[in-house]
Structure 1
Amino acid sequence: MLFGKRNILGNLFNDVQCTPQHQQQKRQSIFRKFSMLSSRRSIDSLSSTLSSPRTPSPRGTFSATNSCELTIVAALQGHILTVDEMRFCALEIGNLSDAEKLKLLTFLKSESSAIIENNALKSFQCASLNSLLLENLEILDGLWEIIVDVVIPNLQSIIYTLSEVDASFDVQKWIFTAFRDRVLAKLLQDVQSEIPKLKSMLTVIMVETDDNLNPTTRSKFDICLGKSRKTKKPLEKTRSKTDSCLASTSSSPTKSKSVTWSTFSS
């Protein structure tokens, strides 16, 4: 690259030593070449800036202390595990005592939400999630595909023996809830109109986590799905002609009829 620049500069100096007859044309050529060099430097600088790693995280590190916890963290981050890795981790978890399994389950519950949010921050390359990021729905779709196709299947294949200590724990529902509360709720906090592209995703989330969906998040989901409830005006009774007649009759005073009895004398 350096030799190329020297050749260009050499050509520029050679162009300066020209006859007066072609001086104006050569000067324009020199300016054009300098412009090309400066443009290339600007592009290289911009490319370097965009390619610089930015991985903001709500938490700097995760407290994984053994191989099982490290594998769980890798699964939560969306890494594709090999068959051997999944089998080894599942066997290792199966050999743990009940107390150790409870500890591992507590670790999964405490770390999963933060890791799911951290995945979103890395994907959007931002420090916080907000509704402005919905302009890039492709990124959100990619996150959703990783959750459904990679994260949940990997976790289901390695932690199924934890059901021995907590049969009520559903890892799919847990991950969907974390994605709902730590990602979707923040992205949709200022949404004001329907977003048809999110219909499939939000429908699945609502079906799987409906029992603990707070009213605020539910209202935002309804707006995105086009189901926002508008306040209904109280119905006003329309008076018919019959009602008017009855009203006028009831309001007018009733006239008492007097009856006169005539007496006939014999």
Structure 2
Amino acid sequence: MDVDANRPVRTTVVEGLLDHLGAPVVACALDTAAGPPPPLHAIESPAVDGAVRLRRTEFAGGRACARAALAELGVHDVGVGRRGDRSPIWPDGVSGSITHTDGWCLAVAGLLEPWRSVGIDAELVGGVDADVSRVVFAPDELAALSDRPDAEGVVTAAFCAKEALYKAQHPLTALWVDFTDVVARPVGAGEIELAPLPGAAVAARIRHPVRSRWTTLEQHDPGGGRARSIVVAVVAVAEAPATGGHAARAPR
């Protein structure tokens, strides 16, 4: 997939990962590697005052994608600020998420019910090395993910799925979720099931298990540089109704 280096473009492949929601969802991507960082909205700039150039570029690219997605939804002339916990501040009525990896930025935004939220994460295929894997996955979990012909992509997807789950649940619960609070397992082509451990606080706050959908995008450099394989994973989370502390099971 070729992404414009100067302006965000819609990516229908990623939007298709969320088509089961039955709600307007837009995904936009931008490659900052070959061009100057896009301008920031006035409410976005303070978040990266004094930051190094790479951080400012990634932040600006992600925010540009977020604003482009919002514009496609009919929400114009707004910025996406940042809370003290570093989470984005989306306009009322919008659920969204932002990610970036290796200069490639992506944002997704949707007009969802207030009890639903989306998350997205991206990583270069093979970017989850052995040291990272030991932090993110339990030994048995990693063994199951690795015992596949496409192990490198699946392990990367499981990492992204956990990151996306954290981003999706946080606006609903304000909880910190550790990587090892959730078990990931592949359940089919392009799908990862995420199950919170019974003792994890998030298990009582969201419907679970959660299905993450993922895909691999081939990002080609129009300038003739290296091609990149990027895994993108999305998660849609529903808040659990009050049921005496027990989370409702998500529909299959």
TM-score by length of 1: 0.26
Q: Which has the larger radius of gyration?
A: 1
More strand by share: 2
TM-score by length of 2: 0.27
More helix by share: 1
